[in-house]
Amino acid sequence: MDWVRLVNHVPVYSGRLRRPASFDAWTRANGAPIVAELAALRRFALFGRTRGARKALWAELQRSAEQGLLAEAIDRAVKRFVLAAGEIASYPLPLPRTVIGGYRLVAVPRVTCNARGFDSLVRALDAHPDLLAVSGGPAFRQFFLLELSEAVDRALVRAAPSLRHPVPMAEGWYIVGFESSTSWFVPLTGPQRRGHFYVCETPPGGVRSLAPRRVKDAMAQVRATVATLSRTERDQMLREARVPASAR
């Protein structure tokens, strides 16, 4: 089971922390000194101290993250992450936008959502006592939070937001579409996170109270605006949207 699942097209924490393949890769690279230190403390392991230390490290995190106060905190943090696109759209940032009958529709880059969401995960979880108690120190916590951020990001894309299945954001805002083809930022390492979300401000009756044809026309207008942006203009928009260095 994925760490983050969809409930009515909304990403939520599944309560299950299956060990990802990226963990094994991490323990052989950045996490190698941590595993080596933990392995040195082990007196005996049937299949080797390093392998045993690797397995024990993940099991310790899994036990804490799947139950009790930390599991509840992760659930709240994932829900908070999902609100990021609506919060960004509501700010007076120079992102591509238009208006539908007095209500705003904004193209919010996926990389910006992920950056804001990751920072919210760090604020909510990095100093949580139950996570601090897990072996591995700051480096392992950062690995876990980055993986959790990736899981929420994948779930948001998997939700395939649309007018028919909008994803609720901050109060009065919904994701009504996702454009996967646009490249906003090319990182030196890690996933590129192509695309942007179409985030729509809605009247009290919700997104379905807007005329679908007008919303589709507005999305087409914003799409055309994005297509005219140069790489320099896109970079400037990301800077002004304050994409943290952690996402770059």
Q: What is the DSSP letter of 184?
A: -
Band the pLDDT of 248: cuts 50, 70, 90: very low
Is the pLDDT reported for residue 216 higher than 70?
yes
CB 23, CB 58: distance < 8 Å: yes
Q: In whole angstroms, what is the distance from residue 43 CA to residue 49 CA?
A: 8
Q: 167-168 and 103-109: which strand pairing? A: unpaired
Q: What is the pLDDT, as a whole number, of residue 12?
A: 95
Q: How many helices (H) and strands (E) does the chain have?
A: 10, 7
pLDDT in tens, 187-205: 655 666 889 999 999 988 8
| 230 token code pair | 């140069």
Q: What is the pLDDT, as a whole number, of residue 171?
A: 79
Beta-bridge mates of residue 105: 98, 200
pLDDT in tens, 81-118: 988 888 899 988 899 999 998 999 999 999 999 989 99
Query: Against a cut of 0.85, is the pTM above it?
Result: yes
Q: What is the pLDDT, as a whole number, of residue 187?
A: 65
> Residue ranges per domain, the chain?
4-17+66-247
Q: 4-7 and 167-168: which strand pairing? A: unpaired
The contacts of residue 20 (CB under 8 Å, 6+ apart) are: 147
Beta-bridge mates of residue 96: none
**Averaged pLDDT, 40-63:** 83
Is the pLDDT reported for residue 245 higher than 60?
no
Which is more confident, 170 or 224? 224
